[in-house]
Amino acid sequence: MTRTLRLRNDARTRVARPRFSFGLLCVAIVAIGALLVAGPLSARPDTVPAGNLVKNPGAEDGAGAPDSTQHPALPSWTTTSFLTAVKYGTSGFPTVAMSAPISGGVNLFAGGPNNAKSTATQTIDITGAATEIDGGKLQAQLSALIGGFESQEDNAVVEAFFLNASAGQLGTIKIGPVTAADRANKTALLPRSATGTVPAGTRSIRVVITATRTSGSYNDGYLDNISLELSLLGSPPVRKPTLAVACAKHALVATVRSGSAAITSVKFLVNGKKIKLDKKAPFTARVGTARLAAILHVTAQVNAGGKTVALKKTIRRC
């Protein structure tokens, strides 16, 4: 009896094993199929940070110098040799009229007083996109408005340095300079951009502005609207909604343009006061500025994709 019982147990064990292995195989096949349908991990855009990664990209987060002697600090940037923000319309600098068509806002970057070379630097952490980066699937686009003063060859460049976890340099992309000939010997800022693949191993990007003086006492390397955006190769950048402000005679017109997510509502505020809640495209607000302050801080609280993001612009009273 003992031998018979053992044989039966062995038989049952042998029969059960293939059924158990077959079940595991089915589960594995289903899991692999789900991954194939969903696509490879490197194709998931949600791990790639969207929009412009540069903080204070237009020198608006702080005061602008009212003359060529002052050099106020630049929030979010580490500076050397007085690289600073200057107000459009300051004597000897780009005018307010130049700012409007390029969405320059109130301030621009300038090399600053009494220096031959000055810099501003910030470092951006992108470790969240490590899978895409190490798979060679990510690209970076660097852009800015770059210029100078009349026929002088003072100039500016912007560089993006790709750094590994130990801050070692893996590669770079660069835009600028803009020469006096490029500007037809006129004071101006011109758009420049470059795109490059983010090297495998990159964990941060260091953005560096360098302004260089060639003549005179003031370093007239000018910049504005510095942008660094990431996207999957072959795909456009994942864009956030954007806010545009402009003057129409004596009225301020603020418009929010949709990014990659559908907008459900926009609340517009000027100097902290609500002026309109818009729930239907086009998301636009218009307000007379005759009785408002000289400097207008416009905020659009955008509800898109179930999230609320605050977009801000600064403009002079119309």
Instruction: Report pLDDT digits (tens) over 258-312.
Output: 766 688 899 999 999 999 998 888 888 989 988 889 888 999 999 887 788 888 8
My answer on whether 86 and 213 are in the same domain is yes
My answer on whether 33 and 145 are in the same domain is no
My answer on whether 103 and 78 are in the same domain is yes
My answer on whether 151 and 266 are in the same domain is no
My answer on whether 292 and 186 are in the same domain is no
My answer on whether 137 and 220 are in the same domain is yes
Instruction: Report pLDDT digits (tens) over 69-126.
Output: 999 999 999 999 999 999 999 999 999 889 888 888 889 999 999 999 999 999 999 9
Is the pTM for the entire model greater than 0.75?
A: no
Domain boundary residue, one of 168, 197, 232: 232
The pLDDT, as a whole number, for residue 282 is: 81
Cα–Cα distances in angstroms (integers) from residue 304 to residues 49, 62, 224, 260, 282, in the given order: 16, 28, 27, 9, 14
Q: Which residues of 51-89 are buried (b: 16+ CB within 10 A; e: fewer)?
A: bbbbebbbbbbeebbeebebbbebeebebebbbbbbbbb
Specify if 120 maps to a domain. yes
Task: Identify which of 113, 148, 77 has the alpha carbon closest to the alpha carbon of residue 219.
Answer: 113
Q: What is the CATH number of the domain that holds 205?
A: 2.60.120.260
Number of separate domains in the chain: 3
Specify if 23 maps to a domain. yes
Residue 7 phi, psi dihedral angles, 5° rounding:
-65, -40
The range of the structural domain enclosing residue 29 comes to 2-39
My answer on whether 127 and 247 are in the same domain is no
My answer on whether 60 and 153 are in the same domain is yes
The pLDDT, as a whole number, for residue 260 is: 60
- Cα–Cα dist 227/200, whole Å: 22
Q: What percent of the chain has pLDDT over 70?
A: 83
My answer on whether 154 and 209 are in the same domain is yes
- Say if residue 148 is exposed, middle or buried (CB neighbours under 10 Å; 0-12, 13-18, 19+): buried
**CB-CB neighbours of 188 under 10 Å:** 20
CB 106, CB 63: distance < 8 Å: no
Instruction: Report pLDDT digits (tens) over 208-239.
Output: 999 999 999 999 999 999 999 999 987 766 66
Specify if 18 maps to a domain. yes
Specify if 237 maps to a domain. no
My answer on whether 252 and 267 are in the same domain is yes
Q: Which two tokens stand for residue 38?
A: 């969903």
My answer on whether 218 and 253 are in the same domain is no
Q: What is the CATH number of the domain that holds 295?
A: 2.60.40.10
Specify if 270 maps to a domain. yes
My answer on whether 202 and 97 are in the same domain is yes
